[in-house]
Amino acid sequence: MPNPSRLRAAALTATAAALSVLLAGCGGGSQEDDEDLSGQKLHWKDCPAPSEAEGGGAAPSPLPDGDEWQCATMKAPLDWDDPGGDTIGLALIRAEASGAADRRIGSLVFNFGGPGGSGVTTLPAFGQDYAKLRTRYDLVSFDPRGVGRSDPVECLDDKQLDTYFQQDATPDDRAERTEFVDNTEEFNAACEKNSKKILPHVRTTDAARDMDLMRQVLGDEKLHYFGISYGTELGGVYAHLFPKHVGRAVFDAVVDPTQTAEQGSLGQAKGFQLALDNFAEDCVSKVEDCPVGGTAEDVEARIARLLKDLDRKPIPGVFPRELTETAATGGIAQALYSKDFWEYLTEGLEQAYDGDGRVLMVLSDALNGRNEDGEYSNITAANVAINCADDKPRYDPAYVEDKLPEFRDASPLFGDYLAWSMLSCTDWPVAGAADHPDVHAPGAAPILVIGNTGDPATPYEGAGRMVDALGKGVGVELTYKGQGHGAYDSKNRCVQDAVHGYLLDGKVPAAETVCS
């Protein structure tokens, strides 16, 4: 099973939509000889409804001022080592700047993370949150190669994915371990069978080169950029490859660029455990009684007992599927991405203790990219493909078993889950590129790097390490003392003022600014 904490916040909107219902009751390209792709013209038009790979649903609603979102497809080389060869189509979306033309700075390109999240669906879902930035920028996002409409990686079909996500991802004995390894091998073999052509070309370095082509096609001298979660890793790689092309850039929910896949998973185990501790403390600190435990320790002990019970006997989830230990763990992890979802976690736990697993199952489905119609986006397939193309280390079951005590010490609840997820790339058909990304970017313009002390998926320490890795005079760190994955979308005034000051007015905040 893919690492849940590497499936970033792109699914949060789908989570809210699905829960509200429950609780209320661009393809491949052709040979292009000698064409200068930087000179291509984009043909913007009204956006279609999202494809199944993008998550399905309705076409984006008009912006509050009545303007429509516009979509286009940009051609890019399939293989950047052979720029004159086959091309692929990258799906783009934009909202044109709302302010006076003479105040327009250019385009502000967003990547919301994943890897594997569709920017074409995520940007309009959160578009109103960036209304102030739109006064001086065209807001632009895209489906990275292998994602959504951009030649999506395809592995298992919907029915097969339902079965795959029901498996036991924390094996307790030899038989369960064998079954888990077999399921992982079958998933990876399906990816190779269905997406062999694209798999070698979905590395973060490929996506960074796509963004520089995008910068040119959009007509911008510099790339102005807002990267969230994995988007910070992509932004760091871009800055390394094209330091002189970096414009005003913000990194929020920062991936630690110095860690291997194992170190990242261990750090995320600690991060999700911290978030769970904070959730439990928050629940019992409220004036009314916490419905899922009398003390923080009691809350976590009851969750642990629930998961053990589900390992032995699942309970009804979203019919006809059952809530398993694995699904419940994923649902809990998804709820910890945002403090806004803690109330859903409380309700989900309360219901699960009474034998009803629907809320936790909906949260788990959001993590895995499943919509109410039973269709899956390709976020899981793309996530695995991009991570495995990027990450050089490969781990075997014996290695994971040796590491289990360390992971369990980091998190009694999430340790096993995250340790066994390291097998995702073990037999992947494409070799991984490096132990960790190179983000050293001497000469780049200042990059505002924001770390959240309560972030479960990208622990706070990664922000400081990103600043150090970018190099002297590039990274400017800002600390947000908050909860959840990321800082800007918390709507904290101090954080947003710093971001707006830099992106809109070019004012770099003082290094080591602290917001709370």
By annotation, the residues acting in catalysis are: 229, 455, 485
Burial class (CB in 10 A: 0-12, 13-18, 19+), 286: exposed
219: left (phi over 0), alpha (psi -120 to 50) or beta: left
d(CA 150, CA 53): 9
Residues 70/120, Cβ–Cβ less than 8 Å: no
CA 31, 34, 38, 43 dihedral sign is negative
Quick check: helix, strand or coil at residue 19?
helix
CB atoms within 10 A of CB 448: 22
DSSP state of 434: B
User: Strand pairing partners for 317?
Assistant: none
Instruction: Provide DSSP, 315-355.
Output: EE-STT-EE-HHHHHHHHHHHTT-GGGHHHHHHHHHHHHTT
Q: How far apart are CA 2 and CA 115, in angstroms?
A: 11
Tokens of 383: 């996530």
Residue 257 in contact with residue 475, Cβ under 8 Å?
Answer: no
| Tokens at 278, concatenated | 């904070």
For residue 320, whether the previous peptide bond is cis, meaning omega lies within 30 degrees of 0, is yes
